[in-house]
Amino acid sequence: VLATLQGALAGRYAVERELGRGGMATVYLAHDARHGRPVAIKVLHPWLAPELGDERFVREIAIAARLQHPHVLTIHDSGVAAGLRYYVMPYVAG
């Protein structure tokens, strides 16, 4: 998935490495080439999309995009690249 994501987002995000993995998605560290900042990219596991559909992940994106709170990360971007559904948020070390 990492190599596919790197190729699909090349030019926009330089995807560096995996940060963590959960039941639904994997989070990668990347560099936002347009804005010169580190970001985290959360990618739905590709094997889950056909089983569950990506509805739940799309709802998560929609809900997170509407939240505005000092302790909640905002969504910078979202989409589908090479069949991988993802969203981009600020990277917070630690």
User: Closest by alpha carbon to 78, among 58, 54, 93, 53?
Assistant: 58
Residue 4 has pLDDT above 80, yes or no: yes
More confident residue, 9 or 55: 9
- Supply the pLDDT for residue 66: 92
What value does the mean pLDDT take over residues 81-87? 93
User: Closest by alpha carbon to 43, among 84, 12, 79?
Assistant: 84
Residues 18-65: tens digit of each pLDDT = 999 998 899 999 999 999 999 999 999 988 877 776 788 888 889 989
